Chains A and B, each alone.
Chain A
C-alpha cells in the first residue's frame, strides 16, 4: 500500500471518539466499509470495519499507545490494496505490504516505529521493459504487454490491469522505465504503467477454473509418495507445537517445483522469519540453479506485530500470488499459520463485542476460511495463459486437538490433509506426518502424471506401501499386548519391512544436504528397494529360512542410507542385488 498515491484523494476528516487497543472509533468520518484510513496525528494506518450511524469503527494496523480522542482521522476513500509490479520478488513485507528493509532504513532503527509508510514496490528503480505489443494492436484486460526481466529466474509480465476497458494501442515504449512511467497508451486515452493496484480482499478475475492434473512436486517422500498435492490444490498441515509445521512449510517453500513462492509468516516467530531471510538467498533453486529468493516473496507479520495487520497479511499474500498466476506462472503460497489469522479475527471481533460463535471465534470464520482457500486453483487466465495458485496452510490447533473450529472448518475445504503427530515428533521421526490419519483427494487425478513421468506401477507400489503400513498399525496393537516374538513368522517379517518403510522411506532429514530434497524417481527407487527386500524375504521364509535369520541380514540396514546418497541409482541397484544374494544364499 503506498500512501503516496492513496493520499491524493483524501476525502474528509473525522475525529477519534474512543480508543481500545487496536480498535478505534471515529465520528464524522466519510468512509465506506473496508476503506483505508489514517488515524491520529501520527497517521497510523487502519481499515474501516464497522459503520453505525455517525460512528465508524476502525481496526488499526499499528500500536495505538498514546493515541487520544479528539485526534483527526483521514479517509483515503480506497480499500486496502497492494502495489503490483516488478520488484516484488526477493522482497520482504509486513502484513500491509510495507517493505521491511525500507522501513528499517526509513526508521533508522531495528524496531518498528509507527506512522511510517512505504510503497510496496520501489518507485524510483528503472526496469528494462521489452514490449510484446505494437501500435495498432487491440488489447483487453489481462493481456500481456511486455516483459521485464525481474530476477534471473522470473520474467515479469506487464499486463493490462483487470479493470481496464482495453482498446487499441497507440504508443508503446521500450527501454528503461520506472514503474510509474507510462509504457503503453491506448486510444481510449488510458495510460498503462508497470505498477497496478488491487484490493486485497477481492479475487483477481480469471476466465475459468480447471481441474488440476499435475502434482506440485515437493521433494518430500511422504508427500509426493503418499499424499500428493496438485498444482492449484489446497492443503492443510495441522499439528501441535513442536511437531514440525514450520520446517515442513520451509521445505515446501524451498523445494516445491512452483515458479513462484509466496511465503506468509502470519503471527509466527521473528527468528523463524529471520532464518528464512538469511537462508533463502544462499539456497539454490533446484530447478534453475538461481538463488531461491529470486522466486520468493516473503510476508512477515510476526506474533508481536500489530494484530490487525496479521488479519490482512494472508490477503496481501494471496493477491500477490494471483497476480503472478495471471502471468501464467505456477505459484505456491504457504501460510504459517492460519490459526493466528483466525485468532486475529477473533480478537478484533471480540473488541467489537460481536456475538461469538464456537470457542469465541466469530460466526463468519468458516466463510472467511472458505473464501480464502477458494482463491487457490488451476486457472485459465484472461490472457489465455494457464496458471495456478496452490495454497498450503499450517494450522496450530490449541493443545493439538484437531476437533477445534479452525482445523475443522479448514478440513471441510482443503483436499489434502497432512496430519502432524506429536508422538512421531517426540521420537524424532521427521517429517512427523501421520500416515494413518493424513489423506490426499488428489491421488487419483494425479496418478496418470506419475505413471507417465516416473513409473507405470507408481500407483501399485504406493498401494503396497499403504497396505503394509496399515497392517503394521494393526499388528502393533497386538504387539503391545503380547510382544513381537509371539507373532507368527510372516507377521514378524511384515513388521520388519514396515519398519524400513518408516525409517528409510517416510523419514527424511530436512537438514541433510542431500536427503533434504528427494526427486520422485528417488522416492520410487527407495520404495522399490524395500519392496525387493519384502519379496525376497518372503520367498526365503517360504523356503523354510527362520525369520530371525532373515531379519538379521547385514545388507538390509543399508536401506536407511539410500536417502543420503547422491548417486542413488547405482547404490540401489547394488543394494538390491546384495540383499537378493544374501537371502538366496540361505536356501
Chain B
C-alpha cells in the first residue's frame, strides 16, 4: 500500500529526516522499522516536496540510515469506544493492562478541532469537591479548566485524588438525570511510584472502572508526552459529547509536557522563546486546555484539572504563567501551609476560580455563599498582612480589632482549610464553618455581607460547628 522509503538522511535527538519523492501531508503518521525489526511511530513535523522532518514518539535510539520509513497517509487517530472505561493504556494509547485489544466504535483525530465559541454552553453547574478551600472559596464548575499550581515535594497528587474521589454535583444526586461521571487520568513523565499511588487509590476506591488511564512514565520517551494529553482529551470529548458522561480529566504533570515541547523545539533548531520554551507554547497549551467545556444540546461535559509543578516555586515561570492566562483560575498549593501540616495545603488568597461567580448562589449553592466568600477573603487577607507586623511589634502592640483578625487568619487555616484528605464536607457545612469564623468578628466589620444574611446567620452565642476558641 503506502510506499516504503529507505532514505533517512539525518537523525538528531527525537527527529528523523527523510527524503521523499511523493508529497507527504503535514502531521501525518509515520512508521519506522529498524533493521532489527522494531517499529517506532512518529509524526510529520515539517514537509517539503523532497524532505520530511519526523518526530519519533518512542525515541530514535536504534534507528539507523537503513531503517525503513512508511507514511500512513493519515494523521494520528485515537480508537474510541465506551469500553475504554476501566482500561489502562500507555502514553500513545496502546493497552498495557493485559486486557483484550480495543475494538473501536469510532476513530478520531487526536488534534481535535476548536469548539465554536458560539456552540459552547457557559459552565455554571457547581461541582462539589468536598474540599472547603475549593468549594467555599474557589468553586469548581462543570466544564471548567482549573489547574493545580504546585511544586516539587508538595502533596498535589493527594488533592487531585481527593477531588477525583469526592466530586459530585449535589442536585443531580437527587433527581439522577442519568449522566454518569468518568475520570480520565493522563500521566506525563511521572515516576512509577507516583503512578502506583494513583493506581492503588483508583483500585482501592473502585474508581478504576469508571476511569481511563493513560500512562507515560518518567522513563518513557519524552516525545510521547506530546501526544498523551491529546489522546486523553480525545477520549474525554468522545465520552462527554457522544456518550453523555461528565468527564473529569486530570493531567499530570504539565511541566513534563512542556519540557518535551522544548526538547522538540531545540532539536528542530527553532528560535526559542522565554527560557528556551518554544514561542508557540501558548497556542499549544491553549489547544489542550480549551478542550474543556460544555456544548449546547449535549448532556456531557469535560472538566479539566491539570497539575503542574512550578520550577523553583516561581509562578512567573513560563509554564504556570501561560497556563494561568488560559485556564479559568488556579489552585495554589503552598509550601508553608504544608509544613504546618494543613491538609490540603491550599493557599486560597492567590487561588482563583473565574467561573465561580456564576456557579454559586441561590439555587446553585446558597444565597449567602458569595458574601461569605468575599468577607472571608478580605478578613483572611487582612489577618495575613498583620502577621508581618506582629513579627516586628508583637501582638500586645496591636489593637483589639487587629488581634481578632489575626486569630481569624489562624483559625481559617487550621479549621477551614485543614480538613484531611479523607474528610468530605458538603457545601452547607463549608459555609457554616465560614459563618462560625466570621462571627468571631464584630457585626459591623462584615461590610461585604448583606444585612439580611447577617441577621440570619451571625452567631450571637458562639460557633455552631467549630469548637469555641480557647480565649472566647
Report which A residues bind B (CB closer than 8 A): 16-21, 25, 63-71, 92, 100-101, 103-104, 107, 109-114, 240-242, 265, 267, 269-271, 273-275, 277-278, 300, 302-305, 307, 340, 343, 346-347, 350, 353, 356, 359-360, 396, 398-401, 422, 425-428, 479-485, 503, 511, 554, 557, 560
Contact = CB atoms under 8 A, between A and B. Distances in A.
Contacts of B23: 16, 68-71
B282 A481 contact: no
A208 B230 CA distance: 53
A241 B316 CA distance: 10
Contacts of A275: 122, 358
Contacts of B81: none
Q: Which 8 A-B pairs have the closest CB atoms?
A: A399-B316, A303-B286, A18-B48, A427-B381, A304-B290, A110-B119, A70-B23, A241-B324
Contacts of B143: 271
Interface stretch (B9-17, B108-116, B207-215, B409-417): B108-116
Contacts of A21: 26, 280
Given A69-B49, A303-B290, A483 B389 contact: yes
B349 A426 contact: yes
Interface stretch (B92-100, B269-277, B423-431): B269-277
Interface in B279-303: 279-280, 282-283, 286-287, 289-291, 293, 295-296, 298
A311 to B, nearest CB: 11
Contacts, number: 220
Contact of A400 (B280, B316, B444): B316
A276 B458 CA distance: 36
A110 B295 CA distance: 7
A273 B117 contact: yes
B377 A271 contact: no
B115 A347 contact: no
B273 A270 contact: no
Contacts of A107: 116
B117 A274 contact: yes
Contacts of A17: 48-49
A427 B378 contact: yes
B350 interface: yes
Contacts of A271: 120, 122-123, 143-144, 293, 328, 355
A65 B75 contact: yes
B42 interface: no
Contact of A305 (B114, B328, B329, B381): B114
Looking at chain B's contact residues, is the secondary structure mostly helix, strand, loop, or mixed? mixed
Contact of B377 (A71, A110, A428): A428
A11 to B, nearest CB: 23
Contacts of A71: 23
B25 A111 contact: no
22 contacts: A18-B46, A18-B49, A19-B25, A68-B26, A104-B116, A110-B119, A110-B295, A111-B112, A111-B115, A270-B115, A270-B290, A271-B143, A271-B293, A278-B122, A343-B279, A346-B273, A347-B279, A398-B274, A398-B322, A425-B352, A485-B399, A557-B444
A302 B117 contact: yes
Given A71-B23, A275-B122, A112 B116 contact: yes
A270 B293 contact: yes
B26 A20 contact: yes
B241 A277 contact: no
B26 A427 contact: no
Nearest to A265: B117
B290 A274 contact: no
Contacts of B49: 17-18, 69-70
A427 B392 CA distance: 22
A305 B109 CA distance: 16
A101 B118 contact: yes
Nearest to A305: B114
A271 B144 CA distance: 8
Nearest to B375: A428
B20 to A, nearest CB: 9
A557 B448 CA distance: 11
A166 B467 CA distance: 84
Contacts of A269: 290, 326, 328
Contact of A20 (B45, B123, B282, B316): B45
Contacts of A100: 116-118
B121 interface: yes
B118 A92 contact: yes
Contact of B117 (A65, A300, A426, A511): A300
Contacts of A63: 111, 113
Contact of A360 (B123, B274, B381, B447): B274
Interface residues of B, number: 83
Contacts of B377: 427-428
Given A18-B47, A353-B271, A480-B388, A277 B118 contact: yes
B114 A302 contact: yes
Nearest to B370: A511
A180 to B, nearest CB: 25
Contacts of A104: 116, 118-119
A400 B325 CA distance: 11
B381 A428 contact: yes
Given A18-B46, A396-B325, A270 B25 contact: no
Contacts of A101: 118
Given A67-B25, A485-B399, A19 B47 contact: yes
B192 interface: no
Interface string B367-402: 000100010011001100000110011000111001
B197 interface: no
A402 to B, nearest CB: 12
Given A304-B286, A399-B321, A481-B392, A65 B111 contact: yes
Nearest to A301: B117
B273 A307 contact: no
Given A18-B48, A92-B118, A104-B118, A241 B26 contact: no
Contacts of B293: 270-271
Nearest to A306: B114
A529 to B, nearest CB: 15
B60 interface: no
A112 B377 CA distance: 40
Contacts of A401: 316
A242 B118 contact: no
B24 interface: yes
A302 B289 CA distance: 12
B318 interface: yes
Contacts of A70: 23, 49
Nearest to B268: A20
A427 B374 CA distance: 9
A395 to B, nearest CB: 11
B28 interface: yes
A307 B283 contact: yes
Contacts of A554: 444
Contacts of A560: 447
Contacts of B325: 241, 396
Given A427-B377, A428-B381, A557-B447, A303 B283 contact: yes
Given A110-B115, A307-B283, A428-B377, A68 B122 contact: no
Contacts of B109: 65
Contacts of A356: 271
A20 B28 contact: no
Given A482-B393, A557-B444, 11 more contacts: A19-B25, A64-B26, A68-B24, A104-B119, A114-B113, A275-B122, A302-B290, A303-B326, A347-B279, A399-B315, A427-B378
B83 interface: no
Contacts of B321: 241, 398-399
Nearest to B22: A70
A103 B119 CA distance: 10
B472 to A, nearest CB: 22
A345 to B, nearest CB: 10
B357 interface: yes
B365 to A, nearest CB: 15
